[in-house]
Structure 1
Amino acid sequence: MSKDEIFNKIADIIADRFEVDRDKITLDLNFKTDLDADSIDFVEFILELEDTFGAEISDDAAENLNTVGEAVDYIASNSAKK
């Protein structure tokens, strides 16, 4: 799966879960500051990424995922559905 495909799936999840205009989602979008996601929102989002991409995201790795671009890179490197 290409990084563009991963980005599009993540952007769709964000648009749906956080009710954000799909066109405003970029690689630089920050989960905590731009989405105002609390810890529960973020954990649920991480779980959805794991389900969607078949990737195991450890708690330590999740703590370091701050932007959409970082999530795309992580999924590209760790996805079971390549």
Structure 2
Amino acid sequence: MNEAEILERIRAIFKENFAIEPERVTPDAHLFEDLDLDSIDAVDLAIKLQEMTGRRIKPEEFKSVRTVGDVIGAVESLLAAQG
């Protein structure tokens, strides 16, 4: 799965779970300031990413995630760990 495919999957997650329009979900978008997620939403997002990748996300890995680009990086590292 490449970066563009990951972004598309993330956009779908945001639309389905948080009613956020896909065009707002850009790599530079800040999860909390731009997309108005709260800490509970962040937990929900982590769960959806676990379902998407089939890998468990360690809380300490997800604490540094602030932007959609960070989410893409986290997914890439989870997928790389599978290989």
| TM-score scaled by length of structure 1 | 0.87
Give 1:81 deviation, angstroms: 6.6
Aligned partner of 1:59 in structure 2 is: 59
- Structure 1 residue 27 corresponds to structure 2 residue 27: yes
| 1:9-59 deviation digits (Å, cap 9, x = unpaired) | 011101221211112210011111112212111101111111111232111
Aligned partner of 1:43 in structure 2 is: 43
Report percent identity of matched pairs: 29
Which structure 2 segments of 5+ residues have no match?
none
More RCO (CA 8 Å, sep 6+): 1
Contact 1:18 1:35 in 2 (8 A): no
Which structure 1 segments of 5+ residues have no match?
none
Structure 1 segments, 4+ long, off by >6 Å, are none
Structure-2 separation of matches of 1:78 and 1:45: 14
| TM-score scaled by length of structure 2 | 0.86
